[in-house]
Amino acid sequence: MTRRQFVEAASMMGAVGLVELSGCARPHDQAVLPAPPVASLREVGASRGILAGCAIQIARLRDTPAYAQLVREQAGIVVEENAFKFTQRLRPSPTEFFFGDTDYLVQFAEANGMKVRGHNFVWHRSLPAWFDGYMTPANAEAVLVEHIERVGGRYAGRIHSWDVMNEAIRVEDGLPGGMRDTPWRKLLGDGYIDSAFRTARRVDPKALLVYNDYGIEGEGDKPAAKREAVMALLRGMQQRGVPVDALGVQSHLDAGRGDVYGPGLMAMLAEVRAMGLKVLLTEMDVNDKWLASPIPARDAGVAEVYGNYLKTTLADPGVIALLTWGITDRYTWLNGEASRSDKLPERDLPFDVQLQPKPAFFAELEALRGAPRRG
Ligand code: G3I
């Protein structure tokens, strides 16, 4: 049974409940029903006014046609995991820019009617090797402004939303406002964030400008403290007239740890909406490293988190987009991290290494189907 046949059969049933934990639909040997259109996250999301998509990897788009076809089928919005970052690849030197990957991404997306996210202008990680030796308090503002002018300007009008600032909050650093002690902050003070957003607005007035962060989803003291700092940052930006349009909630979640997504998260989403800002779920995946090895139970545990989290968050009409951080376990970033103790590959995304849909796919599909229609 091909993936397309499987998804058609499963979408005929219309509900996750009919899909067994193993992720395979029960054989449907009696009914003779018309084949409905193949269910896709992109199409079901669009039917609710939600942009559903995923992070992609340019190299795999280029060299793996089946992956590119899966992305076309399932993603109404894409972001590249790394191509737009201020890295050695994009910025080989202080005077050079490499746009080969970003041009390919934007052209692929536009050829397939997809929106594109830019990720990201300012971050404390993955900076070029020349950064520390070249940057000074005297040149840093000019370097930051030129970076946004050259990268943002190249694609002005073609980017749905930019993660202008990524992960500026780290309460553990003990700085005022819970600010992370980033290389840019060391060079420019806290004002670097306002400067980046003001430059981004000037360079691409059409793009939604997003502040993106993680660890603000769960209940408990640590996420609550980080949420408080993130909200204070956003309120301060608004009070200073800094152009910010949305909060990006990365949504890197864990299965098997009993995490609860509820009051604190929903209160934050409601406050963001009351501030006139939108919310994007920008990098969702569900780490299965805390679950025992057998695949059916792991997939069920991951799907349960997808379902619970998305039914909770998508209930807020301010949530306009949902991207998973990858579409298939085959290329998940999690296998490069401190991953499972049994060394088995992670199963954190909607499609497995054979590009077949998993229970997590149906949980996401059902959550999208049940979300209130936007706009
Ligand atoms: O491109 C170089 C290659 O030339 C070199 O040979 C190779 C080995 O050193 O490294 C390659 O760069 C790697 C890059 O991914 C592209 O594969 C970097 O080392 C590696 O650190 C980088 O990891 C990315 C990570 O962010 C750090 O930038 C992950 O793919 C990416 O999924 C991850 O994504 C982040 C989001 O941007 C922000 N939120 C958290 C999320 C997960 O950490």
Indicate which atom in ligand 1 lies nearest the CA of residue 119.
37
Pocket flag, ligand 1, residue 81 (CB < 6 Å): yes
> What is the CA(346)–ligand 1 centre distance, in A?
17
Structural domains of the chain, with CATH:
46-370 (3.20.20.80)
> What is the CA(82)–ligand 1 centre distance, in A?
6
In this prediction the pTM is 0.92
List 167, 217, 346, 364, catalytic entry: 167
Amino acid sitting at position 245: D
* DSSP codes, 177-208: GGB---HHHHHH-TTHHHHHHHHHHHH-TTSE
Tens of pLDDT along the chain (375 residues) come to 555 565 555 554 444 333 333 334 444 445 555 544 458 999 999 999 999 999 999 999 999 999 999 999 999 999 999 999 999 999 999 999 999 999 999 999 999 999 999 999 999 999 999 999 999 999 999 999 999 999 999 999 999 999 999 999 999 999 999 999 999 999 999 999 999 999 999 999 999 999 999 999 999 999 999 999 999 999 999 999 999 999 999 999 999 999 989 999 999 999 999 999 999 999 999 999 999 999 999 999 999 999 999 999 999 999 999 999 999 999 999 998 868 999 999 999 999 999 999 999 999 999 999 999 998
**For ligand 1, atom 1, which residue shows the shortest CA distance?**
89
167 catalytic per annotation = yes
337 catalytic per annotation = no
